[in-house]
Amino acid sequence: MLVPVLAVLAAVALGAGAAFGGLEEAPKEQPRRLGKGATLDQGQMSTRFVDAVVRPGGEGAPGVPGKRYLQLHLRVTNQDSRTISAQAMDRALPTVRTDGKVFKTLQDSRTVGVSPHIVVKDADPDHYYSQLPPGVPTDVILSFEMPPGRAAPKTVQIDAVSFEWRESFFWRTHSWSVVSEPAPQPAAGPGANAAATRYVPVVAARVELPAREETA
């Protein structure tokens, strides 16, 4: 009868520890830190972070002549069985910072800050496309218009998320969904209504790229 007694004692000790704050939550896992040339498996796609460059638009580059653009060059492989829009990379990389300051971020699926123009580069420098075929490594450019007079950044930091193949609760269909977690809820004052649970994307990796500028 020794084993049941030990089990009871362990349960009592566990309950007492929890009651008096003896148990602490496990530390939250930190996002991976990646640099230039690194590849991240994001579930729906695999993304290699190639380059960050500020250059003029036009003449074989996305954008309007006379304006400057911050371009993020990626090598993306669509891991789905179907062709997807290159615009999916806006959701896959929800936050971009330049020298530590937010340049663009997604809030409830809305882009706040500078919205990227996303294109798929073809071998012909004057042709761009908007789709990612399955299983084919493809050059993708996220092009952000730089505000007039703004200096080129020295570094670009990118928050990248991952996707999971998830079944819809209502429709019994499957789709790729961003891996999310409940957002911390602020303490409610007396008489306040409990807010509905809000979910935020889980940052799978933080990527830092050195940025350079091309003037011609």
Going from N- to C-terminal start, the domains of the chain cover 30-182+198-213
Distance, in Å, from the CA atom of 117 to the CA atom of 105, rounded to the nearest integer, reads: 14
Token pair for 81:
């069985």
Instruction: Tell me the Cα Rg of the chain.
Output: 23
Report CA-CA distances (Å) from 16 to 6, 7, 12, 21. 15, 14, 6, 9
Q: What local confidence, expressed as pLDDT, does residue 194 receive? A: 55
Under DSSP, the state recorded for 116 is: P
> Is 135 exposed, middle or buried, given 0-12, 13-18 or 19+ CB atoms closer than 10 A?
exposed
Task: Decide if 211 contacts 72 (C-beta within 8 A).
Answer: no
Under DSSP, the state recorded for 92 is: H
Task: Decide if 209 contacts 160 (C-beta within 8 A).
Answer: no
Distance, in Å, from the CA atom of 178 to the CA atom of 157, rounded to the nearest integer, reads: 20
Q: What local confidence, expressed as pLDDT, does residue 25 receive? A: 54
- Cα 76 to chain centroid distance, Å, stands at 14
Identity of the amino acid at 61? A
Q: Whose CA is closest to 205, among 29, 76, 45?
A: 29
Report CA-CA distances (Å) from 192 to 78, 188, 198, 199. 46, 6, 17, 20
- Domain covering 30-182+198-213 in this structure, CATH number: 2.60.40
Distance, in Å, from the CA atom of 208 to the CA atom of 22, rounded to the nearest integer, reads: 38
β-strand pairing of 101-107 with 95-98: antiparallel
Residue 203: CB atoms within 10 A of its CB come to 17
Each residue's pLDDT expressed in tens, for the chain with a length of 216 residues: 444 444 444 444 444 444 444 445 556 789 999 999 999 999 999 999 999 999 998 876 788 888 999 999 999 999 999 999 999 999 999 999 999 999 999 987 788 988 999 999 876 766 788 999 999 999 999 999 999 989 999 999 999 999 999 876 666 677 899 999 998 776 655 555 555 678 889 999 999 999 999 886
Identity of the amino acid at 68? R
Task: Decide if 183 contacts 200 (C-beta within 8 A).
Answer: yes
Q: Which helix (H) or strand (E) holds 13?
A: helix 2-19
